[in-house]
Amino acid sequence: MSRPVTLFTGQWADLPLAILAENAAGWGYDGLELACWGDHFDVRAAAEDPDYCVEKRELLASHGLSVHAISNHLVGQAVCDRIDERHRSILPKHVWGDGDAEGVRERAAAEMKLTARAAANLGVDVVNGFTGSAIWHLIYSFPPASEEMIEAGFIDFARRWNPVLDVFDEAGVRFALEVHPTEIAFDLVTAERALRAVEGRSAFGFNYDPSHLAYQGVDCIDFIRRFGDRIYHVHVKDVAWSGRPMPAGVFGGYLPFGHADRFWDFRSPGRGDVPFEEVIRALNRIGYAGPLSVEWEDSGMDREHGAEEAADFVRAIDFPMSDTAFDAAFSDD
């Protein structure tokens, strides 16, 4: 099993795609996971003009790169979130509009429907992203949140996302939620509940990223075992956490990434605490053959150095599953 090693372009949206593609090829990547911001992938242009997608593919191919997925995390976040001023900075102007919360959510949903069509025109069958959540602010239950309040959040998620997923079905594309704090699913329990909320429809699955699970104390290997048939894409991102008490705990203390007082922080792949050996073995067991896509985030490292190092790391840890028992040679049969 030779899985393509790709680079998610979301953290590189300040660079023109032409420059990033040339750099990524030089760093040893097989392809790019295109973010739907910067100049990397324009959802409206791609949905309305197939020639736009041809041009993107030709640009990547000129550097020996492929594309297996696109990602629209920023717009997806607004579909069922509690909208406030923070969203203005991450959303396209035509989605933000006048900032009216319900209008923003409706325009975000319409943009995600276009994203499904854009992906189909590009020839990929996975869109990674976020969902947002109407109930994330209830995560710590004081004042106490009733079960009815929590259930209402999952009902809201299903009500807003099912029409979007209908278009994904029509386009032959799947949506892969990156299970992550602030989303409707942020651990194994809520991932199961989100699947139930949309009645297990196949258009909805997961972009597996162990970094968002591990520092919470969530079993990132069990996630693969439980949701193997719903893992539509994989991010390779690392995280390190302290083995001793810190001034700011798991909630972060409002400190920025990279601050010395944080309990946890993202790291370049291979430099944190994610058990990638077990991740690869678990992915092999479920037969995952899709991309291993580096999402590079490390506040303490030069990003170009890190991106090249990460490509080498992913190739070193990836290996095919054996098709025979190691002791088969001992048999007389």
The predicted structure's pLDDT at residue 327: 59
Over residues 5-20, the mean pLDDT reads: 98
- pLDDT tens by residue, 152-192: 999 999 999 999 999 999 999 999 999 999 999 999 999 99
pTM, rounded to two decimals: 0.96
Q: How far is residue 177 from each of residues 50, 72, 168, measured CA to CA in Å?
A: 26, 10, 13
Over residues 276-290, the mean pLDDT reads: 97
Give 73-113 as a DSSP string: HHHHHTSSS---HHHHTTS-HHHHTT--HHHHHHHHHHHHH
Is residue 1's pLDDT more than 90?
no
Over residues 2-23, the mean pLDDT reads: 97
Is residue 241's pLDDT more than 60?
yes
Three-state secondary structure readout of 270-285:
CCCCCCHHHHHHHHHH
Domains in the chain with CATH codes: 5-323 (3.20.20.150)
- Please say whether the beta carbons of 97 and 105 come within 8 A: no
- pLDDT tens by residue, 94-124: 999 999 999 999 999 999 999 999 999 999 9
Is residue 279's pLDDT more than 60?
yes
Q: What percent of the chain clears pLDDT 90, i.e. is strictly above it?
A: 95
Residue tagged 């049969």 (tokens): 333
